[in-house]
Amino acid sequence: MNFEREWKDQLYQEFARIGKCLSSPKRLELIDLLAQGPKSVEQLAKITGMSVANVSQHLQTLYESRLVRFNKKGNFVIYEIAELSVADFMVSLHRLSEKQLAEIRRLKTDVLHEHAIMEPIALEELMERMEKGGVVLLDVRPEDEFAMGHIPGAISIPIDELEKHLASLPADKEIVAYCRGPYCLMSAQAIEILKRKGLKASRLEEGVHEWNRYATKA
């Protein structure tokens, strides 16, 4: 075997480490969650419905592929993505998968129909309307995720607290809600709550990472 062939084999073997690591649906979900901000193993277990042991095992696999890192805070182990390029990669994976796989498009359509949500507002339109002051942008993720990063101009009201804070939202403006991205349903739930109270509301499908990529190109 010549040097070039051996080098290529070793190179693609290393690339395959990432591919094998991402072959688990649960590990993909964990990366998506950590892209929103650092979380403890216990938090991740609660959100995903997995046991702490299973979450720890998946995180170890992600750590071995250098996709996440961790530190200890008291008795808790806190994980986060290794760098922002991991989040960018996940955005690209989502978009490619939705483009190539009809089943993903069907699943999205089904859930939007279930929540009686019309076509989401586009990023370009949102940016234009925010500049004119015509909308209120509502981030319904947990407060710690909002603190880690959010779309400029957004206000934070976590989905679990939305009912209690409806009176603080202006009735004369449209409320645009967003959460963790295209496959997060907290914003869909928020739209239902807002509309039940007679408020004009729309859903932004994209999250912070999608916004950042769009704003960089704009």
The pLDDT of residue 117: 67
User: Would you name the residues annotated as active-site residues?
Assistant: 179
Asked if CATH classification 3.30.420.480 holds for the domain at 101-217, the reply, yes or no, is no
Angle, helices 208-217 vs 84-100, to 10°: value is 90
Say which amino acid occupies 61: T
The pLDDT of residue 116: 63
The pLDDT of residue 1: 63
Q: Where are the domains of the chain?
A: 3-87, 101-217
The pLDDT of residue 9: 93
The pLDDT of residue 149: 94
pTM: 0.88
Q: Which residue has the tokens 């979380």?
A: 39
68 bridge partner residues: 81
Write out pLDDT tens, residues 193-209: 999 999 999 999 999 99
The pLDDT of residue 216: 77
Q: Long-range contact list for 58-66, CB < 8 A, 24+ apart? A: 58/24, 58/26, 58/27, 58/30, 59/30, 61/21, 61/24, 61/27, 62/21, 62/27, 62/30, 62/31, 64/21, 65/17, 65/18, 65/21
Q: Which stretches of the chain score pLDDT less than 70?
A: 1, 115-119, 218
In terms of DSSP bridges, do strands 76-81 and 68-73 run parallel, antiparallel, or are they unpaired?
antiparallel
Asked if CATH classification 3.30.40.10 holds for the domain at 3-87, the reply, yes or no, is no
